[in-house]
Amino acid sequence: MKAVVVFRIDRRSGVATYLQIVRQVEQALRMGALVAGDRLPTAAQVAADTKVNPNTTLKAYRELERGGLAEVRQGAGTFITRSLAPAQEGPDSPLRSSLVQWLDEARTQGLSGQEVTALFRSAHAAVYPPDAEG
């Protein structure tokens, strides 16, 4: 099975680990990286990849289930039930294509992943000031 989502846990962020998992799934849904029917990694897989207690992942998956984004199918796993991506923002959307093109250019210019992330965060903060988020 291909890895549909790879969780990155930032232990210094101050955000609860289970919420980081929930937010990463939500972001993948918004970006179209996850779609209805996709299977999430098992709690054991997440634990092996991130060194997070499997119960933390299960808590995150229960939260996703409560939000109507995932469902647990006994013996089969946890599956995405709906997308958060607007129709025009799917995997082949012009906006996503522009972003991928920009990322390719950044790589060509020699920027590392960390440098691209820092640049994105700076630009994001300028366009979406933290005090304006709701």
* Ramachandran region, residue 78 (left: φ > 0; alpha: ψ -120 to 50; beta: rest): beta
Q: Whole-angstrom Cα distance, residue 118 to residue 112? A: 10
Q: What is the pLDDT of residues 77-87, one digit of tens each?
A: 999 998 887 65
Q: What is the pTM assigned to this prediction?
A: 0.63
pLDDT classification of 133: cutoffs 50, 70, 90: very low
What percent of the chain clears pLDDT 70, i.e. is strictly above it? 87
Of 10, 52, 33, nearest in space to 100 by CA: 33
Judge whether residue 122 has pLDDT over 50.
yes
Q: Indicate whether 116 pLDDT > 50.
A: yes
- Section 21-25 average pLDDT: 95
Q: Which of 42-46, 110-114, 119-123 has the lowest mean pLDDT?
A: 119-123
